[in-house]
Amino acid sequence: MKISKIHAVFFSPAGGTLKVLNAFLSALPLPAEKIDITPFSSSVQSRTFGAEELVVFAAPVYAGRIVPLAIQRFAALHGNHTPAVCLAVYGNRAYEDALLELADLAKQNAFVPFAAAAALAQHSIMRRVAAGRPDKDDEAQLVDFAKQVWRKLAQAQSAAVLSVPAVPGKRPYKDFKAVGFVPEASAACTRCGRCAAHCPSGAIDPSSPDQTDKARCIFCMGCVSVCPVRARNANKALLWAAEKAFAFKYGARQEPEFFL
């Protein structure tokens, strides 16, 4: 089948998911329209894609699931027997039900999730875990996967005959219970507002960006990753201790997995 357009829809507060997505997209022969559903202000418009378009969904794993905010935003997008690739990106602990959840959502919304991957990126909270990932080896595997994805599309007569691979995970999905640290702004904050514009949950008021609404924060570390003066951080002492224990338990390198 011939693909006329590629769209890449992504949720990537700390940028790791976007790196994985870019490595994958780099090996596809058409440029992709990027649809960033990360910021609170992104207000995703309801949209339907056609049977000759390819949609790539990419999201990070939080507590073995896809964060509900991302699910809500993905849910505004519908297919019409539209081929889809699902990418769940995790920080070297486990992806549990996240990839299955993403593939299920795609199916519910009339996409055909004919390819999926669980790939790795630096842990956005415990940054010493999977540091530097995706690395060259991950990128080479993602490039190879993208070529296989394109070959599978080229060999199919239509999206209706594309096989949908089984992916790991259990239904009902595990309860979503993400825990983390609420980043605070230090005196170095220049109130530039970049964090507020990037925050996925509207936890940072643009008129007082040195404040964080703890009840809204999803612990994604997006504000930490975009702050140009590194004024935002989680409590360093608590994080140091948690990171040490986490790295000891989950430090052994995991490899990406591909399903076609």
Binding site for ligand FMN (CB under 6 A): 12-17, 60-64, 89-94, 121-125, 178, 180, 219-221
Report, in Å, the least distance between residue 160 CB and ligand FMN: 33
- Say if residues 104 and 74 touch (Cβ distance below 8 Å): no
C-beta of 15 vs 193, nearer to ligand FMN: 15
Report, in Å, the least distance between residue 217 CB and ligand FMN: 10
Tokens 């997006």 — which residue?
Answer: 222
Residues 6+ apart with CB under 8 A from 48: 77, 78, 79, 80
C-beta of 4 vs 137, nearer to ligand FMN: 137
Report, in Å, the least distance between residue 103 CB and ligand FMN: 17
SS (H, E, C) 212-242: CCCCCCCCCCHHHHHCCCCCEECCHHHHHHH
In the DSSP assignment, the letter for residue 134 is S
C-beta of 13 vs 83, nearer to ligand FMN: 13
Report, in Å, the least distance between residue 6 CB and ligand FMN: 20
Report, in Å, the least distance between residue 118 CB and ligand FMN: 9
- Say if residues 105 and 90 touch (Cβ distance below 8 Å): no
C-beta of 44 vs 94, nearer to ligand FMN: 94
C-beta of 99 vs 125, nearer to ligand FMN: 125
For residue 68, the SS3 value is helix
Separation between Cα atoms, residue 66 and residue 103, nearest integer Å: 11
Residues 6+ apart with CB under 8 A from 185: 195, 209, 210, 211, 212, 231, 232
Give the CA count within 13 Å in the CB-facing half-sphere of 131. 7
C-beta of 17 vs 212, nearer to ligand FMN: 17
Report, in Å, the least distance between residue 68 CB and ligand FMN: 12
